[in-house]
Amino acid sequence: MTKPRYADLSVGKRTILTPGPVEVDPRVLRAMTTPILGQFDPEFTALMNQTSAMIRDVFRTKNERALPVDGSSRAGIEAALTAVVRPGDRVLVPVFGRFGWLLVEICQRLDAVVETMEVEWGTVFDPAAIAHAVHHKKPAVVALVHGETSTGRVQPFDGIGDACRDVGALFVVDAVATLAGVPFETDAWKVDVAVAGAQKCLSVPAGMAPVTWNDRADAVIRGRRRVEKGLRASGDSGDGDLPPIRSNYLDLAQLSDYWSPARLNHHTETTTMLYALREGLRLVLEEGLEERWTRHRLHEAAVVAGVKALGLALYGDPSCKLTVVACVTIPPGLDGDAVRAYLLDRFGVEIASSFGPLKGKIWRIGTMGYSASRFNVLHGLGALEATLIHFGVKVPAGRAVQAALDVYAEGSHD
């Protein structure tokens, strides 16, 4: 008998404390073993309708259009921007971390005229400053990150949506790191297009990006609608009045038709990923959004208490800290990547580094979705303490875990 070239798939058990991807809820993994249905099977299209309704609920919106883009969260961001940004459009992007620059790059690739605002990494904008810039520059689109995982900050939105309405701009928001982890109010904040990611606070594998948009955005998107000739109904040219959306696969107009009762064929839906996203959304709503936000705040407090008990400093302005990410300043002279490698090798604990000017300067500890648990936090803090001691850092032994336990003594979540 010929010896198999490759062994059966077997991966190590990890405690994932990064800002994404995070650990997947076992109920989501179980849903992914469900038998395949055809994409136009009535049973499957009913699941599509349920998923759309749950996306709407989690985004806290009454938008008719709420669907997932097949692909990671970046696919969702690119689909959203490609749909509403036309060549020559003026786009304003306030940047306070790495993912703001991603929005800039995508808009530049769309031949937009991109103008940026910047603040020091580790801080956020006074929303009044953004609103003032919107009134002054009168852009067609304002693209803004809500939760910037590269710096662990969350941007307040007070008045920004109103300013966009005043000048007729569309407000496009990257809510990849925040949806289902911290409060996000699509309608109340007057967000026109919002994009999330499955692999963060929803605790679903990367592969789908929930997106929702309102009538203001849809007027632009529908104006750019094109339909493949082989799919056009008699007398339907499919041609809108505006420049066409540049992507076929990431075309929100066609995707909207695909998810509508017409079920106009676009691509083959990723069946198993839809099962996963549906279950992840169901679990969020079963827990309750407010309860989920409270759970994330509790585990954040435990991590912060533990980190401080080790004598480590937190990076960034605490007044705008993102609940689901703690950024820790790496002690001088310590090789941060070596610490991370030791944590993973000896304890099975994964934490993240950062990007650009923060690379090698901070660790990022994520507590998102299913990864946000008492076991993970206590195990992660204990492992970090032991690892620091191994690398010769003097820390008060036992204090980190005890500090976290003190926080949990006042809470109730596991």
User: For position 95, which CATH number holds?
Assistant: 3.40.640.10
- Mean per-residue pLDDT of the chain: 96
Q: Residue 286 — φ and ψ, nearest 5°? A: -65, -40
Domain match, 181 and 126 both? yes
Boundary residue ending a domain (284, 300, 329):
284
Residue position matching structure tokens 């969350």: 154
Q: Tokens for 98? A: 């790495």
User: What is the extent of the structural domain holding 325?
Assistant: 289-410
Mean pLDDT of 127-155: 98
Domain match, 232 and 322 both? no
pLDDT recorded at residue 68: 98
- The model's pLDDT over 311-323, given as tens digits with 9 standing for 90+, comes to 999 999 999 999 9
Domain match, 58 and 118 both? yes
> Does residue 230 surpass a pLDDT of 70?
no
Report which DSSP code applies to 186: T
Mean pLDDT of 8-23: 95
> Does residue 1 surpass a pLDDT of 80?
no
* CATH of residue 332: 3.90.1150.10
**1 in a structural domain:** no
Q: Tokens for 129? A: 């400053």
Judging by DSSP bridges, how do beta strands 170-174 and 141-145 pair with one another? parallel
Domain match, 199 and 331 both? no
pLDDT band for position 5 (50/70/90)?
A: confident
Report which DSSP code applies to 8: P
pLDDT recorded at residue 231: 66
Cβ-proximal residues to 55 (8 Å cutoff; 6+ apart), any chain: 66, 67, 68, 210, 212, 281
Domain match, 120 and 103 both? yes
> Does residue 288 surpass a pLDDT of 90?
yes
- Report the alpha-carbon distance of residue 158 to residue 160 in Å, rounded: 6
> Does residue 414 surpass a pLDDT of 80?
no
Residue 134, CB half-sphere, CA atoms under 13 Å: how many? 26
End-to-end CA distance of the chain: 50
pLDDT band for position 305 (50/70/90)?
A: very high
Domain match, 297 and 257 both? no
- The torsion angle over the Cα atoms of residues 315, 317, 322 and 328, rounded to 10 degrees, is 10
Q: How far is CA 224 from CA 217, 241, 242, in A?
A: 11, 6, 5
**85 in a structural domain:** yes
> Does residue 119 surpass a pLDDT of 70?
yes
DSSP E strands, 14-168:
15-16, 65-70, 90-95, 113-118, 141-145, 147-148, 153-154
With beta carbons less than 8 A apart as the criterion, state whether 397 and 409 touch: no
Q: How far is CA 385 from CA 297, 334, 403, in A?
A: 22, 14, 13
pLDDT recorded at residue 3: 75
pLDDT recorded at residue 238: 66
Residue 408, CB half-sphere, CA atoms under 13 Å: how many? 19
With beta carbons less than 8 A apart as the criterion, state whether 255 and 245 touch: no
Q: Which residues pair with 143 in a beta bridge?
A: 172
Domain match, 265 and 299 both? no
With beta carbons less than 8 A apart as the criterion, state whether 118 and 312 touch: no
- The model's pLDDT over 362-407, given as tens digits with 9 standing for 90+, comes to 999 999 999 999 999 999 999 999 999 999 999 999 999 999 999 9
